[in-house]
Structure 1
């Protein structure tokens, strides 16, 4: 059945806001027939037949990217059916993704949910807001809560704060002397190139949380001329630590079942007084949400929810032993491959997983490639994302998809530019292997 724009009917249409062309919403359609304009070249197209078997003359094929408009419109249209969706997968309207992609994902979920009815998981989309608040840990409540957290797979962003880097700031002490020296010579030009290699994420803290990221890799430093104020740092200085923590806490206030990990693994130009200042900041902002140190084997979702804990802070400094809410860094080992070769990275990840401690610690699999000097020189203008990350993502993601969570499997996986692929969803889905395993045991 076809429908023409301008005619009144009961069929649902969407309009491409760029071209004003009207498209019939029909999930069974393989292609759309578009009228030939005077600006398009005539060519021989495929032979088509209408429902009454008459011939439809065509003049070639083309691909059209449709911008459907705001996601809020689709949320309103689909809100009534969303509560009935049941499957171990998840779908949502994600910021910066075309609405058409979201619809395809949702339709796929509906088709699968009609075939499998076990392990329910429903995402909540509010029609009155433009974006989904992802609450994946709460969705695991029924089936995974008895499992210790070291068995659950978490998604982590590498240098989580680096979505904004101030190219006007001085070069940080995390950089070699030669890099700081060159910055003094070439000044703004050098810093602009540095920024291309310092930025490893595009999403803000709030956007990462909404995408499903629950583990944050944090590096902090004092800044020359700024007194005790602390900043995030990766080559150049980023946002104030205080502002970032407030942003994270605001998310937790409205998502009481979500739990996050803050890993302060690098500290630069910090004296004892600076550590005390940061620790007081953490205590003041998160308060009773801070989880006190305990045996790792005791940490389950149920344990955390019963005590209203939402934040685990790992602090890689001896001062951590003086505070009950600071987990020592050695309980969060993160082996680093330090390679630009994706295949060597995969081999390293497999080796370190096999050597993973069975008790007493969490474990981070750093699925990231590290640029060497020659890598930076070759891609000086292009930057980290386009010269190293994007082309190697397929190999890395294939490894991630083949993993299994559990004491002998992956626990926390880290990645650069988590938005380039559906990284968070891929990692979260690994947890449902635990549910399938439990289901099999129940059947036996």
Structure 2
């Protein structure tokens, strides 16, 4: 299948797939659309020279370059930049925020997953050239914030979130494609910190995942969510991602010197995408994956919206 997605009913380009959906889908809540998302979206930018943030079992080895570089291979869940993910059709971004404990700048913030990113939060711009595509930014974790409200306020006021206030979708309404287009809004910001009550910040979006490296476990957990506890009036995420152990068992994986997390994902995605394609009437909402820029992942999720 070409990058243009020819042969997909109603969608010819993934870069602006939302505006190509059939008209009957323009007025349904976004909670009822199937939306491709990326897990640990900024992990392509991890810095092997940074200290180890997680898991706790490896923190004491932060000074060892070989350990940091090995961890990098297993913490990088994405290979494409944010811009490339957007162009590929990804519309949900999992952004985990942290502050370095001994940073001379008390308000400088980074993304992280195991390690800190090279790029700080302030210089990242979620700019997209397709204003009719709705983007969901999920900010969470806030490692090193230590319940300091001033850091949260600083993050919210950063130019990357507040330079175009009119583009943000209010949580006061049930968003649809049509309502967003009519209002000229296209960014939804979920902020996982209950003390923040800004009008344009959405509360935490539930993220369901298998918490395992076993594909069968991931499928089982997500199937149970869709069958028994599927949220109906809010966004929710089904995470296809495999999860490394957070204890000493992680060594069973990271010591595979000729392997990497990206390779594990490439081996597991075909089976996980088969599970996605089989959902049909119990369609998930946001489906998040590692290596989310892959066309087979994006197309499998989008096709749930237009399959008969």
Q: Fold match, TM over 0.5?
A: yes
Residue 240 of structure 2 corresponds to 367
Secondary structure, counterpart of 2:15 in structure 1: coil
Q: TM-score, normalised by structure 2?
A: 0.89
Distance in 2 of aligned mates of 1:145 and 1:414: 22
* Distance 1:182-1:358 versus aligned 2 partners, 3 A rule: closer
Whether 1:194 and 2:68 are equivalent positions in the alignment is no
Whether 1:287 and 2:165 are equivalent positions in the alignment is yes
Instruction: Indicate which of 276, 300, 307 corresponds to 2:176.
Output: 300
The structure with the largest alpha-carbon Rg is 1
* Distance 1:235-1:327 versus aligned 2 partners, 3 A rule: same
1:358 is displaced (CA, Å) by 4.5
Instruction: Indicate which of 392, 396, 411 corresponds to 2:285.
Output: 411
Whether 1:175 and 2:55 are equivalent positions in the alignment is yes
Residue 194 of structure 2 corresponds to 318
Secondary structure, counterpart of 1:264 in structure 2: strand
* Distance 1:122-1:399 versus aligned 2 partners, 3 A rule: closer
Distance in 2 of aligned mates of 1:392 and 1:421: 15
Residue 257 of structure 1 corresponds to 132
- Gaps in structure 2 of 5+ consecutive residues: none
Instruction: Indicate which of 210, 220, 226 corresponds to 1:337.
Output: 210
Question: What is the count of residue pairs matched by the alignment?
Answer: 298
Whether 1:346 and 2:194 are equivalent positions in the alignment is no
Do 1:376 and 1:383's aligned partners in 2 also have CA atoms closer than 8 Å? no
Residue 143 of structure 1 corresponds to 24
1:205 is displaced (CA, Å) by 0.2
Distance in 2 of aligned mates of 1:354 and 1:136: 28
* Distance 1:425-1:376 versus aligned 2 partners, 3 A rule: farther
Do 1:141 and 1:301's aligned partners in 2 also have CA atoms closer than 8 Å? no
- Gaps in structure 1 of 5+ consecutive residues: 1-89, 94-104, 113-118, 124-132, 437-444
Distance in 2 of aligned mates of 1:419 and 1:229: 28
Do 2:97 and 2:141's aligned partners in 1 also have CA atoms closer than 8 Å? yes
Within a 5 Å distance, the mapping from 1:373-384 to structure 2 comes to: 373-380=248-255, 381=257, 382-384=259-261
Q: CA RMSD in A?
A: 2.1
Residue 61 of structure 1 corresponds to none
1 or 2 for the larger relative contact order (CA 8 Å, sep ≥6)?
2
Distance in 1 of aligned mates of 2:167 and 2:212: 37
1:394 is displaced (CA, Å) by 2.0
Distance in 1 of aligned mates of 2:12 and 2:71: 43
Distance in 2 of aligned mates of 1:376 and 1:420: 28
* Distance 1:349-1:138 versus aligned 2 partners, 3 A rule: same
Secondary structure, counterpart of 1:319 in structure 2: coil
Residue 276 of structure 2 corresponds to 400
Distance in 2 of aligned mates of 1:309 and 1:366: 26
1:120 is displaced (CA, Å) by 4.3
Task: Encode CA deviations 1:376-400: one digit per residue, 9 max, x unaligned.
Answer: 43442222122x3222222211101
Instruction: Indicate which of 423, 432, 435 corresponds to 2:297.
Output: 423
Task: Encode CA deviations 1:355-384: one digit per residue, 9 max, x unaligned.
Answer: 334433212111111122435434422221
Q: TM-score, normalised by structure 1?
A: 0.63
Distance in 1 of aligned mates of 2:132 and 2:32: 18
Distance in 1 of aligned mates of 2:78 and 2:231: 31
Residue 165 of structure 1 corresponds to 46
1:421 is displaced (CA, Å) by 5.6
1:284 is displaced (CA, Å) by 2.4
Distance in 2 of aligned mates of 1:292 and 1:190: 44
Task: Encode CA deviations 1:301-358: one digit per residue, 9 max, x unaligned.
Answer: 11111111111111110233x21111111xx211231111111211111001123344
